[in-house]
Amino acid sequence: MTDKTATLSIDRGEGKIDAIDLPVMEGSLGPNVVNVGALTANGYFTYDPGFTSTAACESKITFIDGEKGILLHRGYPIEQLAEHSDYLETCYLLLYGELPNPAEKHEFVSIVGKHTMVHEQIRTFFNGFRRDAHPMAIMCGVVGALSAFYHDSTDISDSHHRTVAAYRLIAKMPTIAAMSYKFSIGQPFMYPDNSLNYAANFLHMMFGVPCEASNISPTIAKAMDRIFLLHADHEQNASTSTVRLAGSSQANPFACIAAGIAALWGPSHGGANEAVVKMLEEIESVDNIDKFIARAKDKDDPFRLMGFGHRVYKNFDPRAKVMKQAADEVLEELGIQDEMLEIAKRLEEIALKDPYFIEKKLYPNVDFYSGIILKALGIPTSMFTVIFAIGRTVGWIAHWNEMISGSYRIGRPRQLYTGYAQRDFVPLDNR
């Protein structure tokens, strides 16, 4: 809290003015925040659909400056983490606030490794799904169902339970994700191999088969690890806010993360990486790009260029910069040439020069390049958002834990009611 105050004057009519003093809060970085808590007692609410101007909590985990294109986790720039760190080390940083020393890192990695298997009965759970179920649909169901299996980590008031739930979720997400894919293609589930690192183990469970030794390319495993890292957290986005809101009612962690997965699924959020590839397929040829750009600019056409624009970034998404570099490296190393990738590159060039996209500050976001890189790595399109969910799990848990271990109240937004005023019931025969 600062000693500054904002004063809000509200004209109540007939010459009466309400002047309400509102304290101004100051963070360590970023804009100051007007604390509007006092408004309710004075008979007013604020109106902010989409929460474009509302800070819903205090947090020490991640900072974004959307104008400058800055993303910091616990103070460390994403570019430095992507270059020097790895996914599990970044998980530790997000959860505990500091980078681990070698002994702490070793212990963390080995504990996560101990939790990679899922309860054997969860395997039978999958048979309840249709074979053509979208893997995100399976994720919502199976991750929520973990609360039916791991009763010893659902007491949210016990910090040990919360820690074990965090390990379990980070460790089991790749296993469940790979199972959802294997189920859809009718192949046997693969058990985790804890001699592999986090990303390589995921690829082993995705692409390995029990009758052959897995052969995981270190290049692909490194690229996958970087994709997880770049998605690890992103402040109070839609899915993280959903996890916080669900958690504010004291729901158990597995149920909260399932809620986050549901919010992530939509094409405006994590579903965009899948939508990017579908869009590139629809564009079909470089010759058709202009037509699609024109559609994106047409106010009467709901079509949007998927993978462009961001609520917070009005400059390049810093994750997209790293992802683009990773995409270039992977494509070169694997010697991949693909018509769709050509379309993507041309689309990016054209959109970045187009006045519509420049004026509206619509830059390619992380999902534009992650869609491309995942396709190059041979990941099926339906798994793209699932991979985002694996990476983001640690962010969801870190925010949930930050909230539960501090002081919080149940999240309960208000509304501007625009329906009927009170009226009397009309009996059926008189209507």
Q: Which residues bind ligand CMC (CB under 6 A)?
A: 234, 237, 268-270, 272, 296, 304-311, 360, 362, 365-367
Q: How far is the CB of 48 from ligand CMC (least distance, A)?
A: 13
Q: Is the dihedral of CA 190, 194, 195, 196 positive or negative?
A: positive
Residue nearer to ligand CMC on the CB measure, 236 or 401? 236
Q: How far is the CB of 268 from ligand CMC (least distance, A)?
A: 4
Q: Among residues 376, 28, 391, which one has the least CA distance to residue 228?
A: 391
Residue nearer to ligand CMC on the CB measure, 190 or 243? 243
Find the residue with minimal CB distance to ligand CMC. 309
Residue nearer to ligand CMC on the CB measure, 64 or 171? 64
Q: Which residues contact 75 (CB under 8 A, 6 or more apart)?
A: 63
> Has 161 been annotated as catalytic?
no
Q: How far is the CB of 71 from ligand CMC (least distance, A)?
A: 11
Q: How far is the CB of 366 from ligand CMC (least distance, A)?
A: 5
CA gyration radius for the chain? 24
Q: How far is the CB of 360 from ligand CMC (least distance, A)?
A: 4
> Has 310 been annotated as catalytic?
yes
Q: How far is the CB of 86 from ligand CMC (least distance, A)?
A: 21
Q: How far is the CB of 197 from ligand CMC (least distance, A)?
A: 25
In contact, 343 and 286? CB cutoff 8 Å: yes
Which residues are bridge partners to 73 per DSSP? 62, 76
Which residues are bridge partners to 364 per DSSP? 308
Write down the catalytic residue from 161, 234, 269, 399.
269
Write down the catalytic residue from 310, 328, 424, 429.
310
Residue nearer to ligand CMC on the CB measure, 309 or 318? 309
Residue nearer to ligand CMC on the CB measure, 183 or 384? 384
Q: Among residues 150, 386, 165, which one has the least CA distance to residue 262?
A: 386
Q: Among residues 244, 227, 248, 247, which one has the least CA distance to residue 235?
A: 244
> Has 204 been annotated as catalytic?
no
Residue 427: both structure tokens together: 């009996």
Write down the catalytic residue from 231, 233, 367, 399.
367
Residue nearer to ligand CMC on the CB measure, 202 or 308? 308
Residue nearer to ligand CMC on the CB measure, 226 or 269? 269
Catalytic residues: 269, 310, 367
